Every structure is written in structure tokens, then in C-alpha cells.
């Protein structure tokens, strides 16, 4: 009887150890929590941003137009791992990280952050709008002293963009996991 109990106890410990393996960010935008998995997918895979919308060019001089923020929608999905007991997720922050495709011809853009408090219930896939290039960032690109965005030119700045959601499980372990959506951004003065 003692051997059976010891064997059962050892097997239970082995299952507990193996089930706790794995990282919070599994790559490819998957966040693994104790009762749900989360994914994020940008619904626009490549955004061709117009740095100044509606401007006119004559003799390489720009007139008119406005600088506006560009946003994309991100589908954020929460999928229950079990039939019962799945917990809600809460998104607390969004970080937008930019990596120039060619750093010799494209200037860096600092990360931007959005504080948010959005609850996502298991089985739900809300669409979350995310500002991926704000009007202030566009103005900063035009006012740079090195590698500025020149209006009425053929300049194109291309970036790989990671939209990182900081997510925790309500009532779970209290750990925050990153869930990432990926996209491309091409910035130009599109006439």
C-alpha cells in the first residue's frame, strides 16, 4: 500500500513539474497563462503612412495638408485552456516598438506607450485600435537634423513594428506577460 501511495505521489509531483514548464511568451505573439492563452494579430500587416495628408507639391514645395495620427486595429484573442475555470485577462499597457528595416537610410523612432485597462473574457476577440504613428512622431521625423523626412520627395522610411500588450490574468498568479502583434510600417509623403 505504501509503495502505491509513494508511486502516486511521485507521479503527481512529476505532472506538476512538467505542467509548469514553458515561458510566458512562447513567440509568435502567444501568451500562456494558467487558464487561457492569448494572441494578438494586427489586422493591417503593412501600413503605408502618409506623413502629410492632402498636401500639394509644386517645384518640390509642399503646400496645405494636415498631419494626422495613423492607427491600426489589432484582434486580441483569449482562448480558454479548460472547459471550466478560465479567468479574464486585463491589458494594462501597450508598447509600440519600431525597428528600422535599413538603419543607414531610416532614422530610429523611440518606443511609444499607451496606458490602458481593458478586460478580455475567455473566448472573446475584441478589436483594439492602436496608434502606430502619432502626429507628434510624424512632426519629429520631419524636423530631424539628420535623416529628416523630406516632403515632396521619394523618401520612404520602413520599420518593423511590434505592438506589445502587457497582460495579466485576473485572479491568477499576478504575473504580467507580453503578447505581441507584428506589422510593417512604411512612411512617406504620398501625393
Residue 18 lies in a domain: no
Residue 7 belongs to some domain of the structure? no
Cell 491600426 belongs to residue? 72
Q: What is the pLDDT of residue 94?
A: 98
Count structural domains, the chain: 1
Nearest residue to 146 via CA among 188, 105, 111, 112:
105
- Determine, yes or no, domain membership for 68: yes
Quick one: 14 exposed, middle or buried, by C-beta within 10 A (0-12, 13-18, 19+)?
exposed
> Does residue 16 fall inside a structural domain?
no
* pLDDT tens column, 60-87: 778 888 999 999 999 999 999 998 999 9
Q: Is residue 119 part of a domain?
A: yes
Instruction: Determine the structural domain holding residue 50 and report its residue range.
Output: 24-188
Quote the pLDDT of residue 22.
Answer: 39
Q: Note the pLDDT tens digit of each residue in 141-174.
A: 999 999 999 898 899 999 999 999 999 999 888 8
> With 60 as the cut, is the pLDDT of residue 3 above it?
no
Residue, of 19 and 176, whose pLDDT is higher:
176
Residue recorded with cell 494572441: 39
Domain presence at residue 19: no
Encode pLDDT of 99-156 as tens digits. Answer: 999 999 999 999 999 999 999 999 999 999 999 999 999 999 999 999 999 898 899 9
| pLDDT on residue 180 | 97
**What does the pLDDT read at residue 30?**
58
Residue 15 covered by a domain: no
pLDDT at position 4, please? Answer: 53
Q: What are the contacts of 97-105 at 24+ separation with CB within 8 A?
A: 97/161, 97/162, 97/164, 98/159, 98/160, 98/161, 98/185, 99/159, 99/160, 99/161, 99/162, 100/157, 100/158, 100/159, 101/158, 101/159, 101/160, 101/184, 102/158, 105/147, 105/157
CATH of the domain at 82: 2.60.40.10
pLDDT at 171: 86
Query: Does an H or E element contain 96, and which?
Result: strand 89-100
* The pLDDT value given to residue 63: 81
pLDDT 10s digits, 13-71: 444 443 434 333 333 455 678 899 999 999 999 999 999 998 888 877 788 889 999 99
pLDDT value, residue 158: 98
Residue 74 belongs to a domain: yes
Q: What is the pLDDT of residue 162?
A: 98
Amino acid at each position: 500500500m505504501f509503495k502505491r501511495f509513494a508511486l502516486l505521489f511521485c507521479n503527481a509531483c512529476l505532472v506538476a513539474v512538467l505542467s509548469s514548464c514553458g515561458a510566458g511568451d512562447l513567440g509568435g505573439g502567444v501568451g500562456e497563462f494558467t487558464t487561457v492563452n492569448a494572441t494578438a494579430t494586427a489586422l493591417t500587416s503593412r501600413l503605408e503612412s502618409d506623413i502629410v495628408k492632402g498636401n500639394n507639391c509644386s517645384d518640390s514645395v509642399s503646400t496645405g495638408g494636415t498631419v494626422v495620427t495613423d492607427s491600426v486595429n489589432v484582434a486580441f484573442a483569449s482562448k480558454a485552456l479548460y472547459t471550466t475555470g478560465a479567468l479574464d485577462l486585463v491589458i494594462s499597457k501597450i508598447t509600440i516598438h519600431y525597428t528600422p528595416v535599413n538603419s543607414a537610410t531610416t532614422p530610429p523612432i523611440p518606443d511609444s506607450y499607451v496606458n490602458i485597462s481593458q478586460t478580455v473574457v475567455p473566448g472573446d476577440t475584441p478589436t483594439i485600435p492602436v496608434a502606430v504613428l502619432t502626429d507628434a512622431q510624424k512632426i519629429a521625423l520631419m524636423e530631424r537634423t539628420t535623416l529628416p523626412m523630406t516632403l515632396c520627395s521619394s523618401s520612404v522610411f520602413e520599420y518593423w513594428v511590434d505592438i506589445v500588450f502587457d497582460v495579466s490574468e485576473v485572479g491568477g498568479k499576478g504575473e504580467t506577460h507580453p503578447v505581441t502583434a507584428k506589422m510593417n510600417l512604411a512612411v512617406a509623403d504620398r501625393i
